Structure 1
Amino acid sequence: MIESTATEHALIERFLEALRELPDVRAELEVLEPALTAPYRVDAEIHLSVAGKTIVLLVEAKKTAYPRDVRQVLWQFKALRQAYPSDVQHLLVAESLSPGAKDLLKSERVGYYDSGGSLFLPAPGAYVYIDKPPPKTLEKSVRSLFSGRRAQVLLALLVHHQDWFGVTEVAERAQVAPSTASDVLSELERFDWLESRGQGPGKERHLREPGELLDAWTRQLAGSTAPVLRRYYVPGLKSDALLQHLGEVFDAHQAIYAVSYEAAAQRYAPFLSGISQVRTRLLPGAGADAALAELDARAVTEGANLAIIDTKSTGELLFREQVDGVWLASPVQVYLDLLRGEGRAKEMAEHLRRERMGF
């Protein structure tokens, strides 16, 4: 008997079609009772013939799979080995598999297939590896994790990566609703990046893998657009003097800001001999307009030494730090901004991560 829901059955049928499209391959779905001693029933048993060689696949089907799900599947496959011949191959099919899930399966030499067309089959004499972009459903889900208020939760976790915290605490730090914080934490647990302790309302979590979370955020930036800049020229001041004067004037007018990119990185972890431009996030308002007027900032299209990124809320300025009288964006935010910069910005980003962030 084959146990599967309608969604799983459709996935298995798509997997069979993908196998049959391979050269010199025949694939048939078996409907025989699995071994009576099996600890649980597999979703499908497929018999392959590859260039005359027979391969038996035991298939587990899931809607989505993250590293946490894969660990459970690997444990189930290990238990199945006691009931089936040692030469059977195990394979996971899913609508979407996270990159971490694929890496974990490959490291254990367990096959996989997803609805995007990626296929890994490490059978003896029939090694198949097809790597395609993730399905749009997974791509959209992951992209939403690194944007808007959900990104504020991620930033809170990275800035305080050594702390244990409950949902309410992280929601307060990130200035989001507890429901948003809870959703993000649940998603990160699926990636296996968190540790947890306790139960119920007292449950606490800890970001065990800050480096992996930051790397995943970095990958998302590759397909995103850089923030829109308003460019100005402030006469009579070089970058260092401009940065200091900017801090004084913005504070005097109660303008809420956070300097980022090269100017901020240089203060956190000096790397370049000189900075030609100051880039800062700024919350629009009367105070911001008055500060720019006092600076005599003139809008330009070329030769700018000051660039403004307008923010929609104070949430975009979370965890800023005051260094030598100037408010700087958090090192994590500066690192992410530099990755979308020009020139030696990416080198500066890696220097900042190594010297100041440490993960």
Structure 2
Amino acid sequence: MQTRSEHERKNETLDALLSTLQTLPHAQASMLNVQHPITPLRYALDAEVDLMIADKPMVLLVEVKRTVYPRDVRQILWQISHARNEYARNHEQNVVPLVAAEAISVGARELLRDENVGFFDTGGSLFVPAMGAYLYVERPVPKTFEKSVGSLFTGKRSQVLHALLMKRRDWIGVTELSKLAEVSPGTASETLTALQRMDWVTAQGQGPSKERRLSDASGLLDEWQRQIQDARRPPTRRRYYVPGGNSDALAHRLATLCEAGSVEYVRTQDAAAQQYAPFLSNVSRIACRMPPSKSAGDVLARGPLASHRRRFRHDRWP
């Protein structure tokens, strides 16, 4: 099976952009130049598109990429903004810089919008911030790209994320992180590289002494939450009604039995929040997540039902 060359990929992306523009109501679009040079900058744009919408003429200066992450946007903005300014000195048309790619991450789209730089991806998303002809079509990120981002939050890679969050204020190297997360150095390195593309971590140093630190914990956690909510299969939930009147005692009993049975679990929802911010006068249930196993079943059969009268909910890890 033959793979497409970079030149073929760029042409396919440009063809998709032109086709999308031509299907817009009251729009006419044509390719003026490919590899348009910006001489003083010694920089060549990938294309120049003449666009007319509702009798409003404009020129799109197009930079084509395969994929665009937040980290890529800084360099793109510098190049394409200078190209726009240089082009505007010699032409009177309404000039709009635009990034076209097979896939553009949600974070990269937001950064481009904030800087009034247009974008297009082959999934059908389109943003053209032109004077008098503002275009904005939002489509989901292409599935193949979304899958690559989603893989960060599963399996061994999720262990790396958890370790980073626990050490979020510290600079940490690959070897130390791999030991902390109990994964191979290769997995830790690949995960850190992907996180850096998303602009969730920053780096210092080079080579073996290179270290990273979590720089956007909120952005990472927001995406993790979105990935969980978008998961196809929700966790299996089981509810137990047990005798007793003290939630703290039930939580302690659960912890003791899980430790004795070597069962991994984590408390969630109200009971977990109460530990960090004890502002509730009463917690009516204990919720936890644990992987399904015979040992977990034994704990749930022996433990919560033994001596407490509170509602207990158990969510199996997917």
Classify the TM-score, shorter chain. 0.7 to 0.9
Paired residues of 1:45 and 1:56 also in contact (CA < 8 A) = yes
Kindly state the Cα deviation for residue 296 of structure 1 after the two structures are TM-superposed.
6.7
Once the two structures are superposed, what CA deviation does each residue of 1:69-110 show, in whole Å capped at 9, x if it has no partner? 111111111332454224422110011111111111111111
Q: Give 2:312's aligned residue.
A: 306
Letter in 2 for 1:23: P
1-side partners of 2:317 and 2:227: how far apart?
A: 20
Gaps of 5+ in 2: 1-5
Kindly state the Cα deviation for residue 289 of structure 1 after the two structures are TM-superposed.
5.5
Letter in 2 for 1:184: T
Paired residues of 1:153 and 1:184 also in contact (CA < 8 A) = yes
Letter in 2 for 1:162: R
Greater percentage in strand: 2
Q: When the two structures are superposed, what TM-score results if normalisation uses the length of structure 1?
A: 0.77
2-side partners of 1:286 and 1:101: how far apart?
A: 45
Q: Does 1:54 align with 2:61?
A: no
- 32-41 or 259-268, larger mean C-alpha shift: 32-41
Q: SS state of the match for residue 41, structure 1?
A: strand
Letter in 2 for 1:305: R
Paired residues of 1:231 and 1:304 also in contact (CA < 8 A) = no
Q: Give 2:114's aligned residue.
A: 107
Once the two structures are superposed, what CA deviation does each residue of 1:93-143 show, in whole Å capped at 9, x if it has no partner? 011111111111111111111111111111122211111111112221222
2:249 to 241, 252, 271: 241
Letter in 2 for 1:5: H
Q: Give 1:218's aligned residue.
A: 225
Aligned length: 305
Paired residues of 1:28 and 1:47 also in contact (CA < 8 A) = yes
Q: Give 2:28's aligned residue.
A: 26
Distance 1:273 1:47, change over 3 A: same
Q: When the two structures are superposed, what TM-score results if normalisation uses the length of structure 2?
A: 0.86
Gaps of 5+ in 1: 313-359
Matching of residues 1-359 of structure 1 within 5 Å: 5-31=7-33, 34-81=37-84, 83-86=86-89, 87-224=94-231, 225-253=233-261, 255-282=263-290, 288=296, 291-295=299-303, 297=305, 305-310=311-316
2-side partners of 1:20 and 1:10: how far apart?
A: 15
Q: SS state of the match for residue 188, structure 2?
A: helix
Paired residues of 1:94 and 1:114 also in contact (CA < 8 A) = yes
Once the two structures are superposed, what CA deviation does each residue of 1:214-234 show, in whole Å capped at 9, x if it has no partner? 122222232124422333333
1-side partners of 2:234 and 2:80: how far apart?
A: 44
Letter in 2 for 1:28: S
1-side partners of 2:176 and 2:116: how far apart?
A: 40
1-side partners of 2:108 and 2:114: how far apart?
A: 10
- 222-231 or 262-271, larger mean C-alpha shift: 222-231
- 89-98 or 254-263, larger mean C-alpha shift: 254-263
Letter in 2 for 1:308: H
Kindly state the Cα deviation for residue 65 of structure 1 after the two structures are TM-superposed.
0.2
Q: Sequence identity of aligned pairs in percent?
A: 45
Kindly state the Cα deviation for residue 245 of structure 1 after the two structures are TM-superposed.
2.7
- 208-217 or 226-235, larger mean C-alpha shift: 226-235
